[in-house]
Amino acid sequence: MDFGPRAGKASHTAAGERRVCPRCRSKALALQRRHVSPARLGEPLTTEYYECEACDAAWQYSPAQERWKPVST
Ligand SMILES: [Zn+2]
């Protein structure tokens, strides 16, 4: 029943990825989550969601199109 002190470490390895914010140009965009559409709908489409820690903007990014779209909250 001992999972050790390293249990859960893997869930933090994706953090630290930073991109430049299209609005304030700070390298402060933190990846919040990544969504991949189901393969049965055709070519899988990846959408990534970012939040800027500098200006509080939220963005939706499509790697396939390299397009940023603001997310209204
Ligand atoms: Zn920003």
Q: What are phi and psi of 11, to 5 degrees?
A: -70, -10
CA nearest to 36, candidates 27, 25, 48, 28: 48
Calculate how far, in angstroms, residue 68's C-alpha sits from the geometric centre of ligand 1: 12
Sequential pLDDT tens for the chain (73 residues): 666 555 444 444 455 679 999 999 999 999 999 999 988 878 889 999 999 999 999 999 999 999 999 998 6
| Residues that place a CB less than 5 A from ion ligand 1 | 21, 23-24, 52, 54-55, 57
68: enclosing H helix or E strand: strand 67-70
CA distance 5 to 70: 39
Calculate how far, in angstroms, residue 50's C-alpha sits from the geometric centre of ligand 1: 10
Please give the pLDDT value at position 43: 87
DSSP 27: S
Please give the pLDDT value at position 11: 42
Please give the pLDDT value at position 10: 42
pTM confidence score: 0.70
CB atoms within 10 A of CB 38: 8
